[in-house]
């Protein structure tokens, strides 16, 4: 069994993007992650089985397999579901 980990450098790069852009999307272990700043507090993290998007460039909701609210830092949000 091969174990794939995301290194600290990549986590920091994604957290920096999240801080500056207020959202970030990335692939990890054949899943697709969407992280964005919540309108209330923290970050929303959604995990999809496909990177397929609709005509509005949004991930297709039927591919959503997990999601949640992370009330920590941008780095915490990146690490939340991985």
10-49 per-position pLDDT tens digit: 999 999 999 999 999 999 999 999 999 999 899 999 999 9
39-76 per-position pLDDT tens digit: 989 999 999 999 999 999 999 999 999 999 999 999 99
Q: Integer distance in angstroms from the first to the last C-alpha of the chain? A: 18
What pTM did the predictor assign?
Answer: 0.89
Q: What are the boundaries of each domain within the chain? A: 8-79
Nearest to 46 by CA among 31, 34, 30: 34
Q: Which H or E run includes 37? A: strand 31-37
The token pair that represents 28 in the structure block = 């990890």
User: φ, ψ for residue 56 (rounded to 5)?
Assistant: -95, 10
């Amino acid at each position: 069994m091969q174990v794939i980990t995301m290194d600290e450098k990549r986590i920091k790069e994604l957290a920096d993007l999240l801080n500056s852009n207020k959202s970030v999307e990335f692939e990890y272990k054949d899943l697709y992650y969407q992280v964005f700043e919540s309108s209330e507090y923290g970050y929303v993290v959604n995990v999809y089985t496909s990177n397929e998007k609709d005509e509005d460039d949004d991930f297709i909701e039927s591919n959503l397999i997990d999601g949640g609210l992370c009330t920590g830092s941008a780095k915490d949000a990146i690490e939340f579901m991985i």
